[in-house]
Amino acid sequence: MTRNTTKQIGQLFMVGFPGTDPPAAFLNFIGEEQIGGVILFGEACATHQTARRNIERIRGQYAGGTAPFIAIDQEGGRICRLKGIPVEYRAAAYYCQKSDIEHFAEDYRRAAVFMESVGINLNLAPVADIFMNPDNSCLRDRCFGETAEDVARYVERSVVISREAGILSCLKHFPGLGPATLDPHEQTAAIPFDEVVWRQRGLIPFTRGVEHGADMIMTTHVRLDGFSDEIATGSKKVISTLLRRVVPFDGPAVTDDLTMKGAAPLGSIGERAVAAFKAGHDILLFGQDFEAAMRAYDYFHESVGRGEIDLQQVQASLSRVSGIKFKLDSTVMR
Long-range contacts of 48-55 (CB under 8 A, 24+ apart): 48/82, 48/84, 48/87, 48/118, 50/20, 51/82, 51/118, 51/119, 51/120, 52/118, 52/119, 54/21, 54/22, 55/118, 55/119, 55/120
DSSP character for 245?
Answer: I
What percent of the chain lies above the pLDDT cut of 90?
92
What percent of the chain lies above the pLDDT cut of 70?
96
| Burial grade of 84 (CB within 10 A; 0-12, 13-18, 19 or more) | exposed
Q: Identify the pLDDT of residue 38.
A: 98
| The CATH homologous superfamily of the domain defined by 14-22+38-333 | Glycoside hydrolase, family 3, N-terminal domain (3.20.20.300)
Q: Identify the pLDDT of residue 198.
A: 93
Q: How far is CA 198 from CA 91, 129, 229, 330, in A?
A: 25, 12, 15, 36
Q: Which residues of 64-77 are buried (b: 16+ CB within 10 A; e: fewer)?
A: eeeebbbbbbbbbb
Average pLDDT of the residues of the chain? 94
Average pLDDT over residues 29-47: 97
* 180-212 pLDDT tens trace: 999 999 999 999 888 999 999 999 999 999 999
Using CA atoms, how far apart are residues 199 and 98, in angstroms rounded to an integer? 27
Whether omega before 173 lies within 30 degrees of 0, making that bond cis, reads yes
Q: Rounded to two decimals, what is the model's pTM?
A: 0.96
* 282-322 pLDDT tens trace: 999 999 999 999 999 999 999 999 999 999 999 999 999 99
* 135-146 pLDDT tens trace: 999 999 999 999
Using CA atoms, how far apart are residues 125 and 181, in angstroms rounded to an integer? 21
The domain limits of the chain are 14-22+38-333
Reduced to 3 states, what is the DSSP secondary structure of residue 169? strand
